[in-house]
Structure 1
Amino acid sequence: MTGFRAQLVEQRWDDHRFYHHSLVNQSLHFVSACTFLVAYAIVWIDPAVASLLAWGVAMTSRQAGHFFFEPKSYDHVNQATHDHKEEIKIGYNLFRKWVLMSLWASVPIVLLLSPTLFGTLALSSGWEAYARHVGIGWLFLGLGAIAFRAVQLFFIHDVRTGLVWATKIVTDPFSDFRLYKSAPKRLLKGERMDFPDAAAA
């Protein structure tokens, strides 16, 4: 268990130091963390609404921070190129995230074209029922994405690496809340980067 916890700490630290220089990105992760925590609280009561919150607010704000605000030039703080960081990324790098978000966007389109999902769902009546079907579709997409990448890591690295990564993903809202709760205030003060040298990156 000690090795598991040590690897979890290492994965979290690598994720923070490589991919969260921008205080805009950190602030969006704080918004994402708060929303995920609300979704975690209500998923046992209403999984469709929880999933709509998680994907519609938490994931979009989270990924917008990575896609649009995180520097992609040379990282002088960690002495690594963007391409190198993308190559060694344990979880979903930007390319994999584009694929995942494309699948996310396709779920409501597929359900518009086939409201019963080719006969597997009851026919939805009205926009609320449609939205709930979208939420359940996104819930399965999220669970599937975690399971898929974890199993990939079983073969690319080892079983523990995959299990550690899956644990990190599920618990990220808690650690992101703690790590990035001061980011919005710093951003409002005019700061833009977390590391002084990162401004040159």
Structure 2
Amino acid sequence: MGQKIESFRETLREQRWDDHRYYHHSLINQSLHFVSAVTFLTAYVLVWKDPALAALLAWGVAMTSRQAGHFFFEPRDYDYVNDCTHEHKEEIKVGYNLARKVVLMGLWALSPLVLLIDPTLFGVFEPHVGFEEFARHVGLMWLVLGAGGLVFRVVQLFFIRDIETGLVWGAKILTDPFNDFRLYCRSPGKLVRAGIENRRSAKAG
């Protein structure tokens, strides 16, 4: 049992390290991950009292800030630090690489349209009355989407990799907000200082 636990921990450390070194070079991306981590941790507390609001926060703020960092600010040219191409990183990514994230975020963005077409969501909800009730129904949909996306990839990894890899990745995703908070809590300050230094350099030039 002790050997299995140590193997689990080692695989978790490896997945976290690969994620950090391959996909978090940009200070802007790191800072957005810090914002995401704080928001996710807030949602973790809130989900027990108000699941719909927690999901709205998680998807509307935490996920959008997190993925914006990856899509718009993280460099995709050759990674000289790790001596590999962006394509190689995408190929070996255990969880959701950028291509898979496009699908997931597309489902997220389009899912409210389903409620506009069928306010009952095929009999799941009573038809919403007003925007607030519509938003809460959307939040519950997003909660199911998030849980479904997590479970789907875990089970998929069971078949294409192995059971341990899937379980470790699931644990990594659930604990990423805690880890990202620890890793990137200083990144916003570094980003501000870098901006100040750039302005000083520009003026001096």
Same fold (TM over 0.5): yes
Distance 1:133 1:107 in 2: 11
2:14 corresponds to 1:27:
no
Corresponding pairs, count = 191
2:95 to 82, 91, 101: 91
Alignment match, 1:197:
none
Instruction: Please report the RMSD computed on the Cα atoms of aligned residues, expressed in angstroms.
Output: 0.7
One-letter code of the match for 1:32? S
SS in 1 for 2:194: coil
1:73-102 C-alpha deviation (Å, 9 max, x unpaired): 000000010000000000000000000000
2:181 corresponds to 1:177:
yes
Instruction: Give the gaps of 5 or more residues in structure 2.
Output: 196-205
* CA apart distance, 1:114: 1.1
Q: Which moved more, 1:36-45 or 1:107-116?
A: 107-116
Instruction: Give the gaps of 5 or more residues in structure 1.
Output: 192-201
1:107 to 99, 104, 111: 111
Write the mapping of 1:1-201 to structure 2, written as runs, cut at 5 A. 1-190=5-194
Q: Which has the higher contact order (CA 8 A, sep 6+)?
A: 1
Q: Matched residues, percent identical? A: 67
Alignment match, 2:200:
none
Distance 2:55 2:156 in 1: 24
Distance 2:110 2:123 in 1: 18
* CA apart distance, 1:110: 1.0
One-letter code of the match for 1:105? A
Distance 1:165 1:56 in 2: 23
Distance 1:117 1:16 in 2: 38
1:96-138 C-alpha deviation (Å, 9 max, x unpaired): 0000000001111111111111222111111111000000000
One-letter code of the match for 1:147? V
SS in 1 for 2:141: helix
Name which one, 1 or 2, has greater alpha-carbon Rg. 2
Q: TM-score scaled to structure 1, two decimals?
A: 0.94
One-letter code of the match for 1:51? A
One-letter code of the match for 2:13? V
Distance 1:120 1:173 in 2: 31
Distance 1:39 1:154 in 2: 28
Distance 1:144 1:109 in 2: 19
Q: TM-score scaled to structure 2, two decimals?
A: 0.92
Q: Return structure 1 stretches of 4+ with deviation > 3 angstroms.
A: none
1:139-187 C-alpha deviation (Å, 9 max, x unpaired): 0000000000001100111000000000000000000000000000000
One-letter code of the match for 1:122? E
